[in-house]
A and B are shown apart, each in its own frame.
Chain A
Amino acid sequence: MKSIAYGLLALLIAHAAAGETVERTVKAAPDGEVDIVNVAGAVHVIGWDRSEVQLRAEIGSNVEEVELEQRGERILIRVKLPSGEDGGTSSLRVHVPRNSAVSVNTVSASQTLEGVRGEQRLQSVSGSISTEIASEDFQAKSVSGAIRVTGNGETSVRITSVSGSIDLDNVGGELDMNTVNGGMRVTGGAIDRARLKTTNGQLRFDSALKQGARLDAEAINGTIDIKLRGTVDADFDIETFNGSIRNCFGPKPERTSQYAPGSALRFKEGKGSARVRLKTLNGAIELCR
């Protein structure tokens, strides 16, 4: 039945001169999808309780048009630039139904999302990403833009960055995060499963592990700094080829070989319900609680 209500194709094109502000509002499914594309400028998405999508666009110079298109339960907002030309900065403020699945794709535009409870897929080349997430899946990709995520419960998070920093606050559940040179910080939340990987970045984890959790952290030249909150009940497998290991609890690390400089630390705390694996090539590892 939804196809009757939302099945019609609606295409609203806002032709506007530079410096103009346009506003459009369309009916939307309470849990539909909203896709936003903007090259430069800013995107601000706000979840609200109305079944409407409201777009307010401040159009900068060298923008061909801003398009708002409805395809069934999916709404697409796109800032189109003239072919082969640079520039095209626009600032979009978009209100969406709170449970919408939101996808934002930008180049240098910053992204800010608040109050959106649905799934989020965010991608930015160099613009920063700042968002609040709830229990739906979250995915973000960036080359050099910083990514900051504030959670409120458990979810599944996948973040890939090249050189931008990744900062998670109060996000529990499953984490899968990779960066090459960017720093990575996880604070708060209770983790079921986390796979954290960096080549040269600094990795900091300051969270709780749930019963039976699994934490895998790996760095080549970067450092790993782990602080476990709450009761620690885990089996630890920590090894570095050339770095140091410092731990605030458990036995002392041991040299792995008389010929190689590495050391290892393997022990069980409590019943060993969770599993913690920390590995580096040259980076130092610190484990505390």
Chain B
Amino acid sequence: MNSHRPDALDEALSKLPKSVPTERDLWPRIQAQIEAERPGKDARRGFTPRWYQLAAGVLLVLASSVTTFVIMRDAQERAPAVATTELPRPEIAAMPASFAGYRLGEDYTKARAQLDLEFEQRLALLPPEAREKVERNLADIRAAAREIADTLAEHPTDPLLHELLMSTYQSELQLLAHVTQMAPATTKRVQL
């Protein structure tokens, strides 16, 4: 045992801040998203916000997970003597289960699976050409997310990449919501 290690550890710990603020204040954007999707005039005119609420829920889980990740990451960076656990590499599949290496947990996975299920059902109602365009654009968004995540793996502390990755996830959710809201009126026979 190195007799100096406890002192070095104490010294490193004493340098840690009492609280660790997140690099990015994500809440204004999340709040704006929720406010924007809150039923107001929509309810009066028969637009159902249920799917949007579900999407907002996923976004909240995602955002809180990311916030936790950023706090943990900052703490790890500021205490190199303590931080020994290596984060897994980023992994973004069609249904992302991680954000820059931070596992998003079961709640996110469940909510996200529900969103994807509804999206697939609605997508099937679109005309073939529109469906193909949506799928192609969704693939573009997911490719962009993968590109950012891969870059983030090389530059794990870059705040711009974190911001853009979060934003790309939001874009994906928006596209899913967009299509899910849109499809009912596009059935061949209009239901009264």
Q: Do A and B bind each other?
A: yes
Q: Mark B82-123, 1 if CB is under 8 A from A, else 0.
A: 000000000000000000000000000000000000000000
Chain A hits for B126, CB < 8 A: 125, 143
B8-16, B62-70, B72-80, B174-182 - the one binding chain A: B174-182
Does more than half of chain B's interface fall in helix, strand or loop, or is it mixed?
Answer: helix
Q: How far is the CB of A60 from chain B (nearest CB, A)?
A: 14
20 further A-B pairs in the complex, CB-CB below 8 A; given A197-B171, A260-B158 = A33-B45, A39-B186, A67-B192, A78-B190, A82-B188, A83-B189, A84-B188, A103-B45, A107-B186, A108-B127, A123-B182, A125-B126, A125-B127, A125-B182, A160-B174, A181-B137, A181-B140, A199-B171, A241-B164, A281-B147
In the complex, whether A16 has a CB less than 8 A from a CB of chain B is no
Interfacial residues of chain B within 112-159, with CB under 8 A of chain A in the complex:
126-127, 129-130, 133-134, 136-137, 140-141, 144, 147-148, 151, 155, 158
Check: B41 CB closer than 8 A to any chain A CB.
Answer: yes
Q: How far is the CA of A34 from the CA of B168 in the complex (A)?
A: 36
In this complex, what residue of B is CB-closest to A105?
Answer: B185
> Are the CB atoms of B188 and A39 closer together than 8 Å?
yes
- A241/B188 in contact, CB under 8 A: no
Chain B hits for A81, CB < 8 A? 188-190
> 8 Å CB contacts to B: which residues of A43-97?
64, 67, 78-86, 88
State which residues 208-246 of A face B: CB under 8 Å: 218, 220-221, 239-241
Once A199-B168, A220-B144, A279-B164 are accepted as A-B contacts, the answer to whether A162 and B158 lie under 8 Å apart by CB is no
- Quick one: closest B residue to A86, CB to CB? B188
B167 is an interface residue with CB less than 8 A from chain A: yes
Point out residues on B near A: beta carbons under 8 Å. Answer: 36, 41, 45, 47, 126-127, 129-130, 133-134, 136-137, 140-141, 144, 147-148, 151, 155, 158, 160-161, 163-164, 167-168, 171, 174-175, 178-179, 181-182, 185-186, 188-190, 192
In contact, A260 and B140 (Cβ under 8 angstroms): no
Inside 8 A of A126's CB, which chain B residues have their CB? 127, 129-130, 133
A144 adjacent to B130 (CB under 8 Å): yes
User: In the complex, how many angstroms separate the beta carbon of A217 from the nearest chain B beta carbon?
Assistant: 11
Given A85-B188, A143-B182, A281–B164 Cβ distance below 8 Å?
Answer: yes
In the complex, what residues of B have CB within 8 A of residue A176's CB? 36
Inter-subunit contact A281/B144 (CB<8 Å): yes
29 A-B contacts, Cβ less than 8 Å apart?
A: A37-B190, A39-B186, A39-B188, A80-B189, A86-B188, A105-B185, A107-B127, A108-B127, A143-B126, A143-B133, A143-B179, A160-B174, A163-B133, A163-B137, A176-B36, A199-B141, A199-B168, A199-B171, A220-B144, A220-B168, A239-B160, A241-B151, A241-B164, A256-B160, A259-B155, A260-B155, A279-B160, A281-B148, A281-B161
